[in-house]
Structure 1
Amino acid sequence: MENFLAFEFEQMPFVIISLLVAFTVHEFAHAYTAYKFGDNTAKDQGRLTLNPVNHLDPIGTIFILIAGFGWARPVPVNRRNFANPKLAGVLVSLAGPLSNFLIAFIAYGIFVFAMNDAPIFVIDLLLMMMQLNVVLFVFNLLPFPPLDGYRIIEDLVPPHMRVKMTQYEQYGVLIFLLLVITPLDQFTIQPIFSVAIPAVIGGFQSIFSLFL
């Protein structure tokens, strides 16, 4: 029977652990940053936690295992609670992808210094952790709703443009889904990945080569 999963079966334990960490820390980073800027919305809804149960979306998790892309439960944010909504909004949106970047960086660093002594399953887990978090870092910065990259642009543009973006956001979501789940991704998403992901990993390699 043909494998219906996006990953090889033997990779699944590493994929699941990596996704649990990646999604949980990503959403916690959004919630914590919003809380520090004065918005208690996420905290009041139990999202200021590192408990994966509070952040995972069952359908989104299944999708990433089967289709290779998915989502967690978005953290609720009320911009009206921010003293500086534009600055705080950008930083809250940026916190999620940056948390994935940090996880990937740490995982790669541990891999570099442990690869000669650690058991093979630890090496496999570290590499999966690094790769998936780099993918999530790049993916979430794409300028399409409902991704963080779109939210950053939304907060940076003038108010009248933000209103127009909100009006047409539903169509943007539809266009984004078409780009992701159809062969069009070969001309849009995949070219971005083919440049950005190797660039990030190459940056890690350059940094840690200084210590070897």
Structure 2
Amino acid sequence: MRRNLVEILLSIPAVFLAIAFHEFAHAYSAYRLGDPTPKNMGRLTLDPLAHVDWLGFIMFALFGFGWAKPVQVNPSNFRNRRTGNIIVSLAGPAANMMLAILTLIILLLIQLLVRELGILWNIIVRVIYLNILFALLNLVPIPPFDGYHIVRELFYRKNVKFFWQYERYSLLILLIFIFLGLFDIIVGVPANLIYNYFMQLQGYVLFLLQ
């Protein structure tokens, strides 16, 4: 119980960062594409408190599965509605993966200067892992994840009936995935593989530079 509590506390900074960068990326990309809605709603910020849904935050800290406040956009402000929606949807997962890589580089630089990081190591590696996890989770093609919005924009015009039926049962599909632990397979397994690869690469580079 104590170990679980410690892990949860160590994960809090990582969850805040993952949510803040993910939602800011949605807001910033929409704003750059011509939609002022996110800025008008106060979402064009890296302040995590502007993006946190507290129930989703608690779920993510406890189970690695959660959500944030969705960034509201008005696609009619985009020059190309379809392309704009795809870019905005991709921006969130891309930001999380970029943050994971940036944090990995920062960890490498710190380790070149400091041999023993103690608790800081635990916090930093959680930032790396949870951002990888958040990126992959949001690419799952089930509403309300970003992956679904991407797939919908790409294939909706020729498959209207399919998407209508799919959205109708999307909540049931999501609950089935949660209760059967399918996210552990389709998200957790590749997230672990990417994380392990990143850490092995970081260790190899650190060995060469020391």
Q: 1:43 aligns with which of 35, 39, 43?
A: 39
Q: Deviations over 1:141-165 (max 9, x none)?
A: 1111110111110111142425752
Q: How far 1:52 moved relative to its partner?
A: 1.5
Give the aligned partner of residue 92 of structure 2: 96
Q: What's the TM-score, normalizing by structure 1? A: 0.85
Give the aligned partner of residue 85 of structure 1: 81
In the alignment, structure 1 residue 14 sits paired with structure 2 residue 10: yes
> Cα RMSD between the aligned structures?
2.3
Q: 2:109 aligns with which of 92, 113, 126?
A: 113
Q: 2:183 aligns with which of 160, 183, 189?
A: 189
Which sits farther off after the overlay, 42-51 or 61-70? 61-70
**Higher percent of residues as helix:** 2
Give the aligned partner of residue 25 of structure 1: 21
Check 1:47–1:206 CA distance in 2 against 1; reply closer, same or farther (3 A cut).
Answer: same
Q: How many residues align?
A: 204
In 2, the alpha carbon distance for the partners of 1:200 and 1:84 equals 34
In 2, the alpha carbon distance for the partners of 1:66 and 1:199 equals 21
Which sits farther off after the overlay, 201-210 or 38-47? 201-210
* SS of match in other structure, 1:48: coil
Instruction: Give structure 1 stretches of 5+ with no counterpart.
Output: none
Q: Deviations over 1:74-131 (max 9, x none)?
A: 0012211111112111111011011111111112222233236153121111111111
In 2, the alpha carbon distance for the partners of 1:167 and 1:80 equals 25
Check 1:162–1:147 CA distance in 2 against 1; reply closer, same or farther (3 A cut).
Answer: farther
In 2, the alpha carbon distance for the partners of 1:51 and 1:152 equals 26
In the alignment, structure 1 residue 56 sits paired with structure 2 residue 52: yes
Give the aligned partner of residue 120 of structure 2: 122
In 2, the alpha carbon distance for the partners of 1:195 and 1:53 equals 30
Structure 2: which amino acid aligns with 1:152? Answer: I
Q: Spell out structure 1 runs of 4+ moving beyond 6 A.
A: none
In 2, the alpha carbon distance for the partners of 1:50 and 1:106 equals 16
Is the CA contact 2:64–2:130 (under 8 Å) kept in the aligned structure 1?
no
Which sits farther off after the overlay, 83-92 or 153-162? 153-162
Q: Deviations over 1:11-48 (max 9, x none)?
A: 23321111111101100000000111111111111111
1:129-208 residue pairs with structure 2 within 5 A?
A: 129-162=127-160, 164-166=162-164, 168-180=166-178, 182=179, 184-185=180-181, 188-205=182-199, 208=202
Structure 2: which amino acid aligns with 1:196? Answer: P
Check 1:14–1:170 CA distance in 2 against 1; reply closer, same or farther (3 A cut).
Answer: farther
